[in-house]
Chain A
Amino acid sequence: MFARLRSLWGTFRHRSEFERDLDSEMQSHIENRADDLARSGGLPRSEALRRARIEFGCAEAHQDRVRESRGVNWFEDLAQDLRFGARMLRKSPGFTAAAILTLALGIGPNTAIFTVIDAVLLRPLPYANPQQLVTWHGNESELDIDDIQAQSRSFFSAGGGVNPEVLTYTGGAEPLGIHAGYVDAGLFRALDVPPMLGRELSPDDDRFGGPRVVVLSYPFWREYLDGDPNIVGKTIPLDDNRYTVIGVMPASFVVPQYSLDVFVSLRVVYPEAARYRGVHFMKSYWRLKPGVTLAQAAAGMATIDARMAKDYPGEEKGRHSVPVPLQQSVTGDVRPALLLLFAAVCVVLLIACANFAGLLMARSVSRQREMTIRAALGGGRRRLVRQALTESTLLAVLGGAVALPLASLCLRLLIAAKPAALAHLNKISMDPSVVVFGLVVSLLTGVVFGLAPAWNVSRADVTDTLKQEARTLTGGPAGHNFRKALVVVEIALALVLLAGTGLLIKSFARLRWVDPGFDPARVIAINVQLPVTRYAEIPKQIQFRRALLDRLNSLPRTQAAMVGDVPLNGSEVTHSLGFDGRPPVAEGDEPEVDSFCVMGDYFRLMRIPLRTGRTFTPEDREDHPLVAVINEALARKFYAGQNPIGQRIHWARETGPPRWMTIIGIVGDVKQYSLAEPAYPAVFTPFAQTNEAWRRWMSVVVRMPDSSGSMIPAIKGEIWTLDSQIPLNRIQSMEELLGLSLAERQFNTALLGLFAALAVILVAVGIYGVISYSVSQRTHEIGIRIAVGARRIDVLKLVIGQGLRMAIVGTAAGILGAVALTRLMTKLLFGVTPNDPATFSAVVLLMLAVVLLACLLPARRAMRVDPVIALRHE
């Protein structure tokens, strides 16, 4: 075996030398023979040489058999096939371009989407043994986490929580609001990523009255501390305190779902919250012990939930902690959209492959005569099939070569336009496995779809075919029917894609027209957090808030007000509500409503309509009767058929005697969470009347004279004259927020629309190919028809009828498919049923129009057939 390989290798490495040797070997044989003949027979030299040559036989044939015996021919043939294939492809640039483009359009986007899917759904999270990490829906208080830690030792090896908060960092030129993770030591143990410098928070740091220490994230360390390698042991100023840096996490470290700058112990930085069971504000992450299954952990958590609900009904009644793998939880939001896109891309790929197969098929039919002649001249059947396969594979590889740059372009577009949910994907790049994926897909396509036409070629019966006229060489009705079937399948697939896209577009349009309940024009929201060190007491907070609004409202043509959380900014406070004069509700069963504090003329500024009663005035102060404004959703739900004005409500979970608030007005509903979600019942109260000192954050809303943002420096200046240490880096315009809430859908819709357009184009090309081929094959027949009196319109009907028949079968199948499949995307729809008849009719009409259009060009050609020429063509 080795000897043979070595010999083959030697033959190839010294190819020309081998040929020379073979020549001279045979030459020397003939000369030697001639010498002998001349000597023994006394012949003249020239005659002896002639005889020797005759005796030797055909040297060419012998040499060829020598090459064959050494296995040279296989490679020789391949090279020849490739050369020949390349020549054939060059000779028909239209076909070649169509085939390569078809494949590239199918494979390129596919590879890009696969890259994103690989990065988002398939690649493991950057933690040790990520499959052991779980989390659940719903947040915990620090006391809950302590209890769960203590009671889950049999199935969790570690666990901890994190709450994203804003801290003021005053080490730079401007005070900066940075994202701090209020964490416990358990979180680091659960995630189990070793720090890059120093150490993580230990249980010794994470205790009430513990040292003020901080762990930095890599981006924060790079950007704000210049990547100081000796940072450990130094201090940085956070919220008027100095924190000692004990460690820096590596660049790969992220706390799931958040992007955080620093990590501090909740018990150190915010001990009040850590001591309060009702503050469910920590997202918790847990690590399964080795060998423990998800089901075991779920059973364990159910027991703990039940125990906690019994011990603390007021705070823990609604517990339902079902552990899910972290990967699933992290990717849960984007998964349906990504899978939909992947399905769309697969459809496009299938259509592209079908088109490719159709192109090869048509070509093989038109080349049947050539193939038959080659077979008649002694071309081996296997050799012919191989030739055809080589050509289609060559095309596939070329298609793949064009597809890869296209894929990287698509990927760049995808990342540039990525929705917020993919924001953590900064490092998506085409890795080798994805490139291999693209190449394998293209090669498989070439081989599989090259095989059918190749087989078709090899089946050609030499004598039969040669006897027939060129006109009838159509590959038989079977071949053409196969192509038609391919086109029908393409139409069906494209229709499914179109239906899905139509539904998304309609959802998006519906969503765009949703009234957010406020007017975002020229309104900015400045998110401000008052540091606890200077604003712990409520009077101080109120004083600051009033002064701030006074200053901003004194700016020319500028209105300002404030609210706890501006709509769509992703945070809110909920409270349990109690009603005056209604039977008491068991602890833990009170309704939860949104609770917002406001100051200034918030409703008028945001143009939130007042339905009845009045809104707050400056008279609704701290020492005046407590008042509240409710939204329509609350009025509908809790005061159906009653007038809520003058009714009293209170926060059910407060200690001490109830602080009754009188309802003075009802305002319109506002989309607080997202445009797709209904408004929740909400209660607005004046900041001046709150007794909750922890409400130290707010969104200052300012309606500006224009949308240029030129006022912003003046606004910042006014605030900084009040307190120069307040960070003002978190400013967003309401229009931006509104846009962001639509961004992800816009992204999905645009992308799916792109793929649907691609599919439609490919289908149109496919139909055009089949119809124009059939017209060219039927020129003779059409000529006869015209000669015997068919009118142009009859010819048009003939051609278009052929296309329409395919379209009708295809769309019918497509509708069935769409009805079955669009149900799977219900989650992505808004205000549209998955089988929306209007959308379906629209896409069917669109499809039929595309088919007609694709038929029109060949139909025109058919109508122009001159019977005289067509018949003489014979």
Chain B
Amino acid sequence: MNEQAQLLPGTLDLLILKAVSLGPLHGYGVLLRIEQITRGALLAEQGALYPALHRLEHQGLLDTEWGTSDNNRRAKFYRLTAAGRRRLRDETESWNRLSTAIRSALSAKPQEG
């Protein structure tokens, strides 16, 4: 459990968008997909996912549709919209810039003169 990192604020949205970009998912599926693509490194409280999903839908980044899950249960599926795809691209770019910057900052060594 302590190997799982806390989510940085704002990163949940990005992860959801990424997860859904790989194919339509229901809420639980999003959770599994995030677990899978982060190799279990990141985990959120399960219910906390829903306010984020609804917020993204409200912003027009996700589309919803009722369907049937693998376990043959009725479930609400989320799909990325065109706006969502644009947002994912922008956010990914800015995330990459940020993480590169942070990494290089953190890997700096004292200069030997």
Question: Which residues of chain A have a CB within 8 Å of any CB of chain B?
Answer: 3-4, 7-8, 21-22, 24-26, 28-29, 31-33, 35, 55-59, 61-63, 65-66, 68-71
Q: Does the CB pair B75–A71 fall under 8 Å?
A: no
Stretch of B15-23, B47-55, B90-98, B103-111 contacting A (4+ beta carbons < 8 Å): B47-55
Kindly state the interface size class of chain B when it binds its partner: 20 to 34
Q: Can you list 9 A-B pairs with a CB-CB distance of less than 8 A?
A: A29-B26, A29-B28, A31-B73, A56-B46, A62-B50, A62-B51, A66-B51, A69-B51, A71-B58
- Contact B28 A3, beta carbon cutoff 8 Å: no
Residues of A within 8 A of B31 (CB): 29
- The answer on a CB contact under 8 Å between A65 and B45 is no
Q: Which of A4, A8, A58, A65 contacts B51 (CB 8 A)?
A: A65
A interface footprint on B78-95 (CB within 8 Å = 1, 0 otherwise): 000001000000000000
Which residues of chain B come closer than 8 Å to A58, judged between CB atoms?
47
- Whether the pair B46, A66 counts as a contact (CB closer than 8 A) is no
Contact B51 A3 (CB under 8 A): no
Contact status B74-A28, CB under 8 Å? yes
Expressed in whole angstroms, the Cα–Cα distance for A69 and B83 within the complex equals 19
> In the complex the two chains form, is A26's CB within 8 Å of B75's CB?
no
The CA-CA distance from A22 to B51 in the complex, in Å, is 11
Q: Describe A's contact surface by its main secondary structure.
A: helix
Residues of A within 8 A of B74 (CB): 24, 28
Chain A contacts for B71, CB-based, 8 A: 31-32, 35
Q: Known contacts A28-B73, A28-B74, A58-B47: does B54 contact A33 (CB below 8 Å)?
A: no
Instruction: Write out the residue numbers on chain B whose beta carbons fall within 8 Å of the beta carbon of A21.
Output: 76
Which residue of B has the minimal Cβ distance to A33? B28
- Are A69 and B28 interface neighbours, CB within 8 A? no
Given that A4-B59, A62-B50, A70-B58 are contacting pairs, would A32 and B69 also be in contact in the complex, using a CB cutoff of 8 Å? Answer: yes
Whole-angstrom distance between the alpha carbons of A55 and B49 in the complex?
12
Q: Are A28 and B69 in contact (CB under 8 A)?
A: yes
The answer to whether B73 touches A66 (Cβ under 8 A) is no
Q: Are B26 and A66 in contact (CB under 8 A)?
A: no
Contacts of B27 in A (CB 8 A): 25-26, 28-29
Instruction: Given A62-B51, A71-B58, decide whether A55 and B28 contact each other with a Cβ distance below 8 A.
Output: no
Chain B CB within 10 A, most for which of A3, A32, A70, A71: A32
Contact of A59 among B47, B58, B75, B76 (CB under 8 A): B47
- Asked whether any CB of chain A lies closer than 8 Å to the CB of B40, the reply is no
Q: For the complex formed, measure the closest distance between the CB of B10 and the CB atoms of chain A, giving whole angstroms.
A: 14
Residue of chain B at shortest CB distance from A71: B58
Nearest 5 Cβ contacts at the A-B interface: A3-B60, A62-B47, A65-B51, A69-B55, A57-B47
Q: How far is the CA of A508 from the CA of B89 in the complex (A)?
A: 85
Tell me whether A62 and B48 are in contact (CB under 8 A): yes
- Which residues of chain B are near A4, meaning CB under 8 Å? 58-60
- Cross-interface CB contact of B48 among A57, A68, A71, cutoff 8 Å: A57
- CA–CA, A61 to B45, complex, Å? 12
By a CB distance below 8 angstroms, the chain B residues around A66 are: 50-51, 54
Q: How far is the CB of A521 from chain B (nearest CB, A)?
A: 85
Instruction: State A341–B84 Cα separation when bound (angstroms).
Output: 64
- For residue B75, which residue of chain A has the nearest CB? A28
Closest residue of chain A to B43 (Cβ to Cβ) is: A55
CB of B61, distance to nearest CB on chain A (Å):
9
If the complex has contacts A25-B27, A29-B28, are A3 and B59 also in contact, measured as CB distance less than 8 A? yes
Complex Cα–Cα for A65 and B58 (A):
13
Q: Which residues of B contact A59 (CB under 8 A)?
A: 47
Extra contacts, 14 of them, besides A25-B75, A29-B75 (Cβ < 8 A), are A3-B58, A4-B60, A7-B57, A24-B74, A28-B74, A31-B71, A35-B73, A57-B46, A58-B47, A66-B51, A68-B51, A69-B52, A69-B54, A70-B54
Report the minimal beta-carbon distance from B29 to chain A, rounded to whole angstroms.
8
- Alpha-carbon distance A592/B66, docked complex (angstroms): 99
How far apart are A38's CB and chain B's nearest CB, in angstroms?
10
Q: Which residues of A contact B75 (CB under 8 A)?
A: 25, 28-29, 32
Chain A nearest CB from B77 CB (Å) reads 10
A32 touches B47 (CB 8 A): no
Give every chain A residue within 8 A of B57 (Cβ-Cβ): 7
Q: Closest residue of chain B to A26, judged by CB? A: B50
Query: Least Cβ distance of A11 to chain B in Å?
Result: 8
Bound: A24/B64 CA distance, A: 14
Decide: A28 and B76 in contact? CB cutoff 8 A. Answer: yes
Q: How far is the CA of A365 from the CA of B31 in the complex (A)?
A: 51
When chains A and B are docked, how far (Å) is the Cα of A31 from the Cα of B31? 14
Q: Which residue of A lies closest to B32 (CB)?
A: A36
Inter-chain CA distance A61–B51, complex, in Å, is: 10
Name the CB-closest residue of A to B29.
A32
B58 engages A57 (CB within 8 Å): no
Cβ B60 vs Cβ A55 within 8 A: no
A457 to B75, CA, bound (A): 46
CA–CA, A4 to B51, complex, Å? 15
Q: Which residues of B contact A71 (CB under 8 A)?
A: 58
Give A105 Cβ to nearest chain B Cβ, in Å.
47
Q: How far is the CA of A188 from the CA of B63 in the complex (A)?
A: 71
Q: Is the CB of A28 within 8 A of B46?
A: no
Closest approach, in angstroms, between the C-beta of A604 and any C-beta of chain B? 96
CB-nearest residue of chain A to B30: A29
In Å, the complex CA distance between A512 and B36 comes to 101
Nearest CB of chain A from residue B24's CB, rounded to whole Å: 14
By the criterion CB–CB under 8 Å, are B58 and A25 in contact? no
Contacts known (A55-B46, A58-B47); A28 close to B28, Cβ less than 8 A:
yes
Q: Of residues B57, B58, B73, which shows the largest number of chain A Cβ atoms within 10 Å of its Cβ?
A: B58
Evaluate contact between A26 and B73: CB separation under 8 angstroms.
no
A45 CB, min distance to chain B CBs, angstroms? 13
> With a CB–CB cut-off of 8 A, which chain B residues contact A55?
45-46
- Shortest beta-carbon distance from A50 to chain B in Å: 14
Rounded to whole angstroms, the CA-CA distance of A4 and B26 in the bound complex is 21
CB <8 Å contact, B45 and A57? yes
Give B66 Cβ to nearest chain A Cβ, in Å.
8
Residues on the B chain within 8 Å of A69, using CB: 51-52, 54-55, 58
For B59, the chain A residues whose CB sits under 8 A away are: 3-4
Closest residue of chain B to A55 (Cβ to Cβ) is: B46
B28 surroundings in chain A (CB, below 8 A): 28-29, 32-33
A65 contacts across to B, CB distance below 8 A: 50-51
Q: A4-B60, A71-B58 are in contact. Are A25 and B50 (CB under 8 A)?
A: yes
Closest residue of A by beta carbon distance from B56: A69
Nearest chain B CB to A375 CB, angstrom units: 26
**Which of A25, A33, A56, A68 has the largest count of B CB atoms less than 10 A from its CB?**
A25
Q: Which residue of the partner chain A has the closest CB to B69? A: A32
**C-alpha gap A7/B47 in the complex (Å):** 22
A373–B111 Cα distance when bound, in Å, is 61
Kindly provide the distance from the CB of A55 to the nearest chain B CB, expressed in whole angstroms: 5
In the complex, A65→B83 CA distance in Å?
23
The chain A residue with its CB closest to the CB of B81 is A3
Q: Complex: how many Å from CA A392 to CA B91?
A: 46
Which of A29, A56, A63, A66: most chain B Cβ within 10 A? A29
Q: How far is the CB of B45 from chain A (nearest CB, A)?
A: 5
Instruction: Give min CB distance, B70 to chain A, whole Å.
Output: 8
Most buried by A among B50, B75, B83: B50
Closest to A32 in B: B28
Q: Complex formed: what's the CA distance from A71 to B54 in Å?
A: 11
Q: Is the CB of A28 within 8 A of B26?
A: yes
Please give the distance in Å from B2's CB to the nearest CB on chain A: 17
Q: How far is the CB of B73 from chain A (nearest CB, A)?
A: 5
Contact across chains for A7 and B51 when beta carbons are under 8 A apart: no
B60 contacts A25, C-beta separation under 8 Å: no
Query: A57 to chain B: which residues have CB within 8 Å?
Result: 45-48
Complexed CA–CA distance, A142 and B76 (Å): 91
